[in-house]
Amino acid sequence: MAEQLRFDGRIAIVTGAGAGLGREYALLLASRGAKVVVNDLGGTHNGEGASSRAADVVVNEIKSKGGQAVADYNSVVDGEKVVDTAIKAYGRVDIIINNAGILRDRSIAKISEQDWNLIHDVHLKGSFKVTQAAWPYMKKQNYGRIIMTSSNSGMYGNFGQANYSAAKMGLVGLANTVAIEGTKNNIHCNVIVPTAASRMTEGILPDMLFNELKPQLIAPVVVYLCHESCEDNGAYIESAAGWATKVQIFRGKGTVLRTSIEQDTIAPEAVQKLWGKVTDMSEATSLDAISRASGYLLEVLEKLKEGKIGDVEDTFSFGSKDLILYALGIGATVKNADDLKFLYENDADFSPIPSFFVMPGLMLSMSSNLVASALPSGKADLTNILHGEQYLEICDDIPTSGKLTTTGKVFDVMDKGSGAVVVTNSDSYDESGRLLVKNQSSIFVVGAGKFGGKKNPINGVVPIVPAPNRAPDASIQYKTSEDQAALYRLSGDLNPLHIDPSFAAISGFKTPILHGLCSLGFSVRAVLAKYANNNSALFKAVKVRFASPVLPGQTLKVDMWKEGKRIYFRTSIVETGKDVITGAYVDLKDTSAKL
Ligand SMILES: CCCCCCC[C@@H](O)CC(=O)SCCNC(=O)CCNC(=O)[C@H](O)C(C)(C)COP(=O)(O)OP(=O)(O)OC[C@H]1O[C@@H](n2cnc3c(N)ncnc32)[C@H](O)[C@@H]1OP(=O)(O)O
C-alpha cells in the first residue's frame, strides 16, 4: 500500500466546517495530522442565525480522536478574522478550503437584491476575503493549497438558483486567476465541483441519488487536492458518490467571418451562413491558458494580414469505403477486371481513382462562405451556381485512407456578363504536413455578372486548352445510369440540383443534372484506362471546363489525343452530340505502362 498522505505540520482552514462536506474535510485532514481551523458561523442553511455550536461539535470530535483543531465563528466575509484565528492558534496557514455556503433559492423574477447580495457575499466575497487574508502568509512561506467550491448549478445552471449559479461560476473565475497569481510561490488553487447530500441539497435531489451522495466520499478527493504531492493548479474537479473527474472548458475551432483584413464590416447574413461553423464543436479543444486563447486569435489575424484568409480550413477524412463509393459513383464496375483495384479493398493493387481528390477542395468550398463572400452582392447559393471549371493536381503519393487538412481561398473573380466566375484555390495536406493535392475550382454564378468587374483571369488561373485539330487518337464511351447522381452524391456533394426535380426547376433545369465532377470522374477513368494501364500512380493533373450539363442516363463519349505525357480530351453526349467537357487534358507522369 502506498505511503499514507500526511499533513503533519500543516495548518488548514475549512470554512463552513460545522456540517456536511466541510465537516468531512476537517475530520479527514485532522486525522492525517493537520491542525484545523473549524470555521462555522453556526447559521441555518439559508444563512440565518449564528451560534458557536456547530464548529465546537466538530472541534470536539477531532480532539476526541486525538487531533488538533480550534473553532472559529466568524463570517467568511470577515476573512482576515478567520485567518487571524489560524495565525493566533498555530502561527501559519497552509490550506484553505473555501466551503462555506448558503442558499436563497428563488426564480430570477423573484430574487431580491438582498438575497442576491447575501449569496454573493458568502460564496464569492467570502472566498475572496479568506484567500486574500491568507495570501501574504502563503507567499512568505512559499506554499499554499487553496480550494474554491463551485457547483454544477454554476457550470450548467439550475432552475431557481440564478444567484447561487452566478456566485458558483464566479468562484471558477476567481480560482482561475488565483491559480495563475500563485504559481510562482507554489500556491495552488483548484476548484471542487461536488454534488453532496447536505442540508443544501436535501429536498432538491431524488432520494436514491441523495442517499449515495455521502460527503465522506468526496472528502478524500479534496484532501488529496490539498496535499503537497498534488501538482494540479487551476483544475476543476467534479466529484460525487465515490466518483471524480476533471472538468474542462472547450472551445470550438471557430471560423473567420471575413475574407480580408481590409474588410471591416460583416453582414449578419454572413454570420448566419457560417453559423454551422461557428457552433461546430467537432474539433473543439480545451485551452488551459488565456495566452493560448488569444494566441490563436493572433494567428488568425496574421493569416488575414498575409491574405491567407479566406484561407478557410477544413478537414476531410476518408477510407477505403469512401474510395469504393466514389469509384462506383463514376461508373467503375466489377464487370471490368481492371476496375477491381478501385472497388475491392483487399485487391493487391487497391488504390484511389485520383479524381477522388477533388473532394476535399469541393467540400471546403461548399461548407464555407467563400464563393458568396467574393461577390459584391454576397449572393451565391445552390440555386444559382454551376460548376464551371476544375483543375486537380496530385503532388505526392496518394494514400487509401487518411485525414487531410485543406486550406482554401478565393483566388480570382471575373465578371462574365451572364454570370460571375469565382475561382477558388485549395491545398490539402496529410497529417504529417505533406502537400498531397491542389485544387482549383471555377464556380459560375448565374445572373451574378454585370457588377463592373474585370472579365479576364489573373495569372495562375489554370487555362483550358483546345484539343488538337485532328481526329481523336482514341475514344471510349460510358453509359451513365439513371441513378448516377443519386449514387455519386453520396460521396459528399449533396447539392439537391442533382436529385430533386423541384429544386432543379428553381435553378432553371427541366430535370436534375449530373454533377460536373461526376462527368470529370468518368473522363479521367477513360484516360487512365486508355493511356495509363489504369494505374493511378501515373496520374498527375486534370483540367476541364464544364461546357453544358449532362443528364443522368446519357452516354458519355470521351475523345482523346495523346501528345507526350499530356492527354487532351473532350467529352460529349452520344445521344445529342453535344460537348459537355471542353478544353480539357490529363497530364500523366508517365505513359510507359503498356498502352
Ligand atoms: C459554393 C460551393 C461551390 C459548389 C461547387 C459546385 C457544386 C456542384 O454540385 C454544381 C454542379 O456540379 S453543376 C453541374 C456541372 N456544371 C454544368 O453543368 C455547367 C455547364 N456549363 C454551362 O451550362 C455553361 O457553360 C454556363 C451556364 C456555365 C455558361 O454559359 P453561358 O452563360 O452561355 O456563357 P457563355 O456565353 O458561353 O460564355 C460567357 C463567358 O463565360 C465563360 N464561360 C462559359 N462557360 C464557362 C464555364 N463553364 N466555366 C467558366 N467560364 C465559363 C466564357 O468563356 C465567356 O467568357 P469570355 O466572354 O471572357 O470568353
CB of 462 shorter than 6 A to ligand 1: no
Return the pLDDT at 201. Answer: 66
When mean pLDDT is compared across 74-83, 107-116, 257-266, the lowest value belongs to: 257-266
| 494 CA distance to ligand 1 middle (Å) | 19
Which of helix, strand or coil describes residue 117?
A: helix
In a domain, 32, yes or no: yes
| pLDDT digit string, tens, across residues 8-18 | 999 999 999 99
Do 58 and 132 fall into the same domain? yes
Here the CATH number for the domain that contains residue 284 is 1.10.287.4290
Which ipTM did the prediction report?
0.97
CB burial of 202-228 (b: ≥16 within 10 Å; e: otherwise) equals eeebeeeebeebebebbbbbbbebbee
Residue 594 pLDDT exceeds 50:
no
CB of 489 shorter than 6 A to ligand 1: no
Here the CATH number for the domain that contains residue 326 is 3.10.129.10
Query: What whole-number distance in Å separates Cα of residue 524 and Cα of residue 585?
Result: 9
| 514 CA distance to ligand 1 middle (Å) | 14
Do 318 and 384 fall into the same domain? yes
Domain boundary among 226, 248, 270: 248
For the chain, the residue count is 595
What residues are paired with 563 via a beta bridge? 566
CA distances from 411 to 309, 367, 405, 421, 583 (A): 11, 17, 19, 11, 21
DSSP label of 121: I
| 323 CA distance to ligand 1 middle (Å) | 28
* pTM score, whole prediction: 0.60
Do 222 and 194 fall into the same domain? yes
Residues 514, 551 contacting (CB under 8 angstroms)? yes
Query: What whole-number distance in Å separates Cα of residue 317 and Cα of residue 532?
Result: 27
- The total of structural domains in the chain comes to 3
Return the pLDDT at 553. Answer: 98
| pLDDT digit string, tens, across residues 221-278 | 999 999 999 999 999 999 999 999 999 999 998 888 887 777 788 888 888 878 988 9
In a domain, 1, yes or no: no
Return the pLDDT at 372. Answer: 86
In a domain, 410, yes or no: yes
Return the pLDDT at 282. Answer: 84
Return the pLDDT at 44. Answer: 66
Which residue's CA lies nearest to atom 48 of ligand 1? 388
Return the pLDDT at 46. Answer: 63
| 466 CA distance to ligand 1 middle (Å) | 17
Do 398 and 532 fall into the same domain? yes
| pLDDT digit string, tens, across residues 267-324 | 888 888 789 889 989 888 898 788 888 888 888 888 777 766 556 788 999 999 999 9
Do 305 and 435 fall into the same domain? no
In a domain, 4, yes or no: no
Do 220 and 182 fall into the same domain? yes
CB of 371 shorter than 6 A to ligand 1: yes
Q: What ranges in 368-514 are assigned the alpha helix state H?
A: 370-373, 484-488, 501-506
Which residue's CA lies nearest to atom 7 of ligand 1? 387
Choosing from 90, 137, 164, 585, which is the catalytic residue? 164
pLDDT band at 590, cuts 50/70/90?
A: confident
Do 153 and 218 fall into the same domain? yes
What's the rounded mean pLDDT across residues 359-386? 87
Cell numbers given for 322: 469512401
Do 421 and 335 fall into the same domain? yes
CB of 513 shorter than 6 A to ligand 1: yes
What's the rounded mean pLDDT across residues 373-377? 82
Ligand 1 binding pocket mutation candidate from 367, 383, 386 (most atoms within 8 A of CB) = 386
Tell me the residue range of the domain where 268 lies: 250-309
Domain boundary among 202, 230, 248: 248
| 282 CA distance to ligand 1 middle (Å) | 35
Query: What whole-number distance in Å separates Cα of residue 72 and Cα of residue 16?
Result: 10
Do 145 and 277 fall into the same domain? no
| 28 CA distance to ligand 1 middle (Å) | 76
Please give the number of the atom of ligand 1 that sits closest to the Cα of 497. Answer: 9
Residue 51 pLDDT exceeds 70:
no
Which residue's CA lies nearest to atom 36 of ligand 1? 418
Return the pLDDT at 593. Answer: 47
What residues are paired with 189 via a beta bridge? 146
Here the CATH number for the domain that contains residue 79 is 3.40.50.720
Domain boundary among 248, 264, 279: 248
Which residue's CA lies nearest to atom 53 of ligand 1? 416
Do 230 and 264 fall into the same domain? no
Ligand 1 binding pocket mutation candidate from 314, 382, 418, 450 (most atoms within 8 A of CB) = 418
What's the rounded mean pLDDT across residues 96-101? 97
In a domain, 6, yes or no: no
Do 174 and 298 fall into the same domain? no
CB of 455 shorter than 6 A to ligand 1: yes
Return the pLDDT at 76. Answer: 98
Residue 446 pLDDT exceeds 60:
yes
| 546 CA distance to ligand 1 middle (Å) | 6
Residue 445 pLDDT exceeds 70:
yes
| pLDDT digit string, tens, across residues 550-571 | 999 999 999 999 999 999 999 9
Cell numbers given for 550: 449532362
CB of 81 shorter than 6 A to ligand 1: no
DSSP label of 6: -
Residues 116, 46 contacting (CB under 8 angstroms)? no
| 386 CA distance to ligand 1 middle (Å) | 6
Which of helix, strand or coil describes residue 496?
A: helix
When mean pLDDT is compared across 342-351, 444-453, 457-466, 481-490, the lowest value belongs to: 444-453
DSSP label of 332: -
Stronger pLDDT, 328 or 301, i.e. the higher one: 328
In a domain, 594, yes or no: no
Return the pLDDT at 50. Answer: 63
Strand-pair category, 11-14 with 312-318: unpaired
In a domain, 582, yes or no: yes
Please give the number of the atom of ligand 1 that sits closest to the Cα of 513. Answer: 14
Stronger pLDDT, 440 or 372, i.e. the higher one: 440
Q: What percent of the chain has pLDDT over 70?
A: 95
What residues are paired with 290 via a beta bridge? none
Computed over every residue of the chain, the mean pLDDT equals 93
- Reference 338, options 351, 325, 329, 326; nearest CA is 351
CB of 578 shorter than 6 A to ligand 1: no
CB of 549 shorter than 6 A to ligand 1: yes
Total Cβ atoms within 10 A of residue 477: 12
Cell numbers given for 121: 457575499
Q: 53-64 and 20-31 helices cross at what angle (nearest 10)? A: 30
Residue 1 pLDDT exceeds 60:
no
Residue 204 pLDDT exceeds 80:
no
| pLDDT digit string, tens, across residues 114-157 | 999 999 999 999 999 999 999 999 999 999 999 999 999 999 99
Q: What percent of the chain has pLDDT over 90?
A: 79
Which residue's CA lies nearest to atom 40 of ligand 1? 416
Ligand 1 binding pocket mutation candidate from 387, 446, 543 (most atoms within 8 A of CB) = 387
Residues 325, 491 contacting (CB under 8 angstroms)? yes
Q: Any catalytic annotation for residue 143?
A: no
Which residue's CA lies nearest to atom 9 of ligand 1? 495
Cell numbers given for 1: 500500500
| 269 CA distance to ligand 1 middle (Å) | 26
Return the pLDDT at 130. Answer: 98
Do 326 and 386 fall into the same domain? yes
In a domain, 494, yes or no: yes
Residue 191 pLDDT exceeds 80:
yes
